[in-house]
Amino acid sequence: MDQVNRVYLDHNATTPLRGEARDAMLAAMDLVGNPSSVHAEGRRAKMVVERARAQVAALVGCLPTQVVFTGSATEAAALAVAQKGRHGGRFAALPTEHDCFAIWSDVDLPAPYGPDGSMLGGGAKGLFAMTDWVMQPVEKRWSADRTDQALVAMSAANSETGIVFDKIPTDTKVNALIAGTIPFAVVSDITQLAGKMAIEYDADKRPSYAILSAHKLGGPKGVGALINFTADDPAPMLRGGGQEMGRRSGTENVIGIAGFGAAAAAAQADVEAGKWDKIEKLRNILESALEAASNTTIFVGKESPRLPNTSCFATPGWKGETQVMQMDLAGFAISAGSACSSGKVKASRVLKAMGLGDVAGDAVRVSLGLDTTKDDVMRFVDTWAQKLNKHKARAA
């Protein structure tokens, strides 16, 4: 299939650059000054950075001074983890977390979801239901009678399954909220949720840190942000000129930051206008049609709160890698898990942690965008069903 007729269904990996972001970046390309310079040219560049900082802050619901621009969400995650010394010196990531957190985890924690995608803990949803299992005293986990703190990574929305916690993970330093457990601070990955759903916090509860990335919401690649909700500035990992108010040195990527800010503002407007409601209906049409085509296909997290655009499904016996390649040749871009694995296609660590076993290797993810149409969805289903029937015929 030629490039014109291809259908892009991998928006959780990256989303096409928004027109608003492109315009902002083109304008920023004409700026001469360094944002740290005090002359007029420098001040103009600084104004672009600060405008974008305010736009990202408005999307997230924080103060502009709490936004630290980084080179990626991965760098933002590393910067957050570097603050663990302020939270008892321990850091843990759930096994369903993105690799940017998982590699730093020094404590084993259980997955928050069961094989069907529902949240563990008697069917209850939300962070405070999760505390029952997060801090259970088992080998390699902290004892329940400890009184010190820890930093724990919890995604607001999982990139592979789309499953959303019904509340943004919050900072639970107040012992009364989690009586009998260790108080822990939270770094929340809002990368997938930002720009697709409203970001809301309880009046007196929010994470200590959050991370997000520009290219997941229609901005450019190579720029992200750490949101610091604590009272203390994060200690920098990169030292030098003291940019970003001393929190991340290095001359700011003015062009990328300008695009990030414009994309954040446009994404916020889309959420407020309810544009993702239409995409959720398309996602449901997709799954109903797939279900009609295959009664063995498993839809991960279908009964749980999910991102409006994400469907993760597995057809036992039909490898996800094979599906990705076959659909790519047919003109459809989908994925088998996270895109951040150096081009590797392998069984999802996240789905294995959720208890899917060997079926984890048979899963693919379809993630829609605001430009996805019903025709795109139905063409995908028709092609996928044809490939499935051929697979079954060969296996017979």
Domain boundaries, the chain: 23-272, 274-395
Note whether 363 and 307 are within 8 A (CB). Answer: no
Q: What is the mean pLDDT of the segment spanning 163-191?
A: 57
State the pLDDT confidence band at 345, using cuts at 50, 70 and 90.
low
The average pLDDT across 98-115 equals 72
Instruction: Categorize the per-residue pLDDT at 58 as very low, low, confident or very high, splitting at 50, 70 and 90.
Output: very high
Q: Mean pLDDT across the stretch 265-277? A: 97
Per-residue pLDDT at 259 exceeds 50: yes
31-35, 242-246, 285-289, 383-387: which has the minimum mean pLDDT?
242-246
Name the H helices within 294-358: 320-329, 349-353
Which one, of 253, 272, 271, 246, lies nearest residue 65 by Cα? Answer: 246
pLDDT score recorded for residue 152:
82
- Confidence (pLDDT) at 117: 63
Which residue has tokens 């630290």?
Answer: 68
Mean pLDDT for 291-300 is 95
Residue 168 confidence (pLDDT): 42
Give residue 104's region: left, alpha or beta (phi > 0; psi -120 to 50).
Answer: alpha
Catalytic residue selected from 62, 100, 312, 340: 340
8 A C-beta contact, residue 110 and residue 258: no
pLDDT at residue 323 greater than cutoff 90: yes
H or E stretch covering 313: strand 310-314
Mean pLDDT of 29-56: 96
Question: In the prediction, which pLDDT does 350 show?
Answer: 85
Mean pLDDT of 294-310: 92
Res 80 pLDDT > 90: yes
Pick 176 or 369 by higher pLDDT.
369
Which of the pair, 394 or 353, is modelled with greater confidence? 394
Residue type at 270?
Answer: D
Tokens of 8: 């892009």
Say whether pLDDT at 264 is over 90: yes
pLDDT at residue 349 above 50? yes
- 3-state DSSP assignment of residue 105: coil
Work out the mean pLDDT of the chain and round it to a whole number.
Answer: 83
Q: Is 115 exposed, middle or buried (0-12, 13-18, 19+ CB in 10 A)?
A: middle
At 129 the three-state DSSP class reads helix
Give the pLDDT mean for 193-198: 94
Mean pLDDT in residue range 358-378: 96
Note if 340 is an active site residue. yes
Q: What DSSP assignment string belongs to 151-177?
A: EEEEESB-TTT-BB-SS----B--GGG
Strands 310-314 and 298-299: antiparallel
End-to-end CA distance of the chain: 29
Q: What is the pLDDT, as a whole number, of residue 100?
A: 86
To the nearest 10 degrees (0 to 180), the angle between helices 40-60 and 254-272 is: 30
Q: What's this model's pTM, rounded to 2 decimal places?
A: 0.87
CB 120 within 8 A of CB 155: no
% of the chain surpassing 70 pLDDT: 80
Average pLDDT over residues 185-206: 83
Pick the CATH number of 23-272 from 3.40.50.360, 3.40.640.10, 3.40.220.10, 3.40.50.300: 3.40.640.10
pLDDT tens-digit series, residues 373-391? 999 999 999 999 999 999 9
**278 closest CA partner among 161, 189, 158, 376:** 376
Residue 338 clears pLDDT 90, i.e. is over it: no
pLDDT band at 289 (very low <50, low <70, confident <90, very high): very high
Write down the pLDDT at residue 320: 94
pLDDT average, residue stretch 144-148: 47
Over the Cα atoms of the chain, what is R_g?
21
Count of C-beta atoms within a 10 Å radius of residue 6: 13
Q: For the residues 167-174, what does the mean pLDDT come to?
A: 40
pLDDT at res. 138: 32
Is the domain defined by 274-395 classed in CATH 3.90.1150.10?
Answer: yes
Q: Is the pLDDT of residue 79 over 70?
A: yes
